[in-house]
């Protein structure tokens, strides 16, 4: 049955079948191989894949991100970020990185972060003579690495499938996210000097106060959401509802960039994105069930245990595994399938479950910009209207930096565990 599943999955992906449908077809092939009488299992496992209350946070965070993208919040976050780095060469590139991290702390979706911030910053970088492939690579890399910054949808999924505290994962993602962001900003500064990109003009004091006043309300949303979760005031699922209400009130009543007639379009766009995510979750659940029935995850876990006799080798194996998977499949099914396998192995080797979740998510950030299936890379290329082939050369330094930061985050566990330890999530 394992061979039937593997052949079906490879063939469907080779014919460019969407990943959700490919997983479902592979699961169906495996079940039919056992017996047509077992087909009733398939819809049961698909429905079980999204029969979880914490998953309600996903459509709500997607809705919050859509509201903020349409409601002018992304633009104000970009303007606010400029106040912090405006005097540095390559400031607009750094603003894109900072803004994406701020935006991720509110909406939690990599594609939404990349689209919302990229649509604002890419035209501005073009005005400042940034090479288009470099600017596109920068936006894609910022979108990928921002998924370490809570609240991240991937961190919610990791917490659910691996039975790890979502609040602990959110706390653990902050410092690694900052490490990634600083590394990308350093690379941007290096290339800005090399390309002799312009320094931003002086911003008048009156304009600074105006930008600060407008931007504070946008950033306050992230403070409320994260503060409420980490402070135990509300759960991540409740936080997603707070994000929707706050974002709508700011965009509709304060900024007045959303009108009543815009609401159906916002809801429809959010439903489409949610449907894609939930379809993959359901199909991946059925696929994971068939793999478990065949004991394939057990064999894979045993191989990792036999290969990695200590946590240092285990981390290297996980990094290589996700780098390879990121080139051929979406991160979501990889998380659902592999996290229940990897966490027990890592714990047996002396690692904290929260640390394992963060190092996996750091690797997922790389997969989001890895051709040929990197979601953030596709979004960035679509915004700048250039092909992936034109971007590859400029993308390589960003990939190299993110691989280096993944290794730092992985081999210095306290970067991820310091805040969870202070908040009581780790002993």
- Condensed to tens digits (0 to 9), the pLDDT of residues 333-373 reads 778 778 888 888 888 888 999 999 999 999 888 888 887 66
Query: Is 399 among the domain residues?
Result: yes
Which of 36-45, 53-62, 414-423 is predicted most confidently?
A: 414-423
DSSP conformational letter for 150? S
Please state the rounded mean pLDDT for residues 390-414. Answer: 91
CB 106 within 8 A of CB 225: yes
Specify if 227 maps to a domain. yes
Domain assignment of residue 13, yes or no: no
Residue 304: which residues within 8 A CB-CB, separation 6 or more? 314, 317, 341, 342, 345
The mean per-residue pLDDT over the stretch 10-26 comes to 82
Domain that holds residue 417: 35-422
Q: Give the count of domains, the chain.
A: 1
pLDDT of residue 187: 93
Overall average pLDDT of the 233-244 stretch: 81
pLDDT at 398: 92
Per the model's pLDDT, the better-predicted residue between 134 and 104 turns out to be 134
309 within some domain: yes
Residue 9 forms part of a structural domain: no
Residue 8 lies in a domain: no
The pLDDT score that the predictor gives to residue 297 is 62
Q: Is 349 helix (H, G, I), strand (E, B) or coil?
A: coil
Domain membership of residue 4 (yes or no) is: no
pLDDT for 418 equals 93
* pLDDT value at residue 298: 66
CA 78, CA 75: separation in Å to the nearest integer?
Answer: 5
Question: If we measure between CA atoms, which residue out of 320, 281, 326, 285 comes closest to residue 303?
Answer: 320
What pLDDT was estimated at residue 9? 82
pLDDT band at 105 (very low <50, low <70, confident <90, very high): low
Within a domain: 377: yes
Could you give the dihedral angle defined by the CA atoms of residues 131, 136, 139 and 143, in that order, rounded to the nearest 10 degrees?
-160
Q: What is the pLDDT of residues 122-172, one digit of tens each?
A: 887 888 888 999 999 998 898 888 788 887 878 888 888 888 988 899 899
Query: What average pLDDT is seen over the chain?
Result: 82
């Amino acid at each position: 049955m394992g061979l039937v599943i593997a052949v079906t999955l490879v063939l469907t992906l080779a014919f460019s079948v969407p990943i959700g449908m490919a997983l479902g077809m592979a699961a169906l092939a495996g079940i039919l191989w056992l017996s047509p009488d077992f087909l009733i299992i398939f819809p049961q496992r698909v429905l079980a894949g999204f029969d979880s209350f914490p998953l309600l946070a996903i459509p709500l965070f997607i809705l919050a991100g859509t509201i903020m993208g349409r409601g002018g919040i992304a633009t104000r976050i970009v303007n606010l970020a400029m106040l912090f780095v405006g005097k540095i060469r390559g400031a607009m590139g750094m603003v894109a990185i900072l803004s994406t991290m701020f935006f991720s702390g509110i909406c939690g979706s990599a594609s939404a972060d990349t689209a919302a911030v990229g649509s604002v910053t890419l035209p501005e970088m073009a005005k400042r003579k940034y090479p288009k492939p470099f600017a596109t690579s920068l936006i894609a890399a910022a979108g990928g690495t921002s998924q370490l910054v809570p609240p991240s949808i991937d961190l919610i999924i990791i917490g659910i499938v691996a039975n790890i505290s979502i609040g602990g994962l959110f706390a653990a993602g902050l410092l690694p996210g900052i490490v990634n962001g600083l590394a990308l900003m350093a690379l941007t500064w290096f290339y800005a000097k090399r390309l002799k990109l312009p320094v931003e003009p002086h911003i008048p004091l009156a304009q600074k106060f105006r930008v600060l006043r407008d931007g504070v309300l946008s950033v306050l949303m992230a403070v409320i959401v994260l503060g409420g979760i980490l402070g135990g005031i509300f759960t991540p699922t409740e936080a997603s509802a707070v994000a929707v209400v706050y974002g709508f009130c700011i965009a509709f009543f304060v900024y007045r960039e959303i009108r009543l007639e815009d609401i159906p379009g916002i809801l429809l766009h959010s439903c489409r994105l949610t449907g894609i995510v939930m379809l993959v979750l359901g199909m991946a659940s059925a696929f994971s069930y068939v793999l478990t029935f065949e004991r394939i995850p057990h064999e894979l876990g045993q191989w990792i245990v036999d290969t990695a006799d200590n946590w240092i080798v285990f981390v290297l194996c996980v990094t290589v595994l996700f780098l390879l998977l990121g080139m051929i499949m979406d991160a979501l099914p990889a998380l659902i399938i592999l996290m229940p396998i990897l966490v027990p192995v890592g714990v047996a080797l002396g690692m904290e479950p929260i640390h394992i979740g963060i190092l996996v998510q750091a690797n997922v950030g790389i997969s989001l910009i890895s051709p040929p299936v990197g979601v953030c890379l596709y979004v960035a290329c679509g915004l700048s209207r250039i092909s992936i082939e034109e971007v590859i050369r400029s993308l390589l330094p960003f990939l190299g930096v993110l691989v280096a930061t993944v290794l730092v985050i992985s081999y210095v566990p306290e970067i991820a565990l310091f805040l969870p330890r202070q908040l009581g999530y780790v002993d």
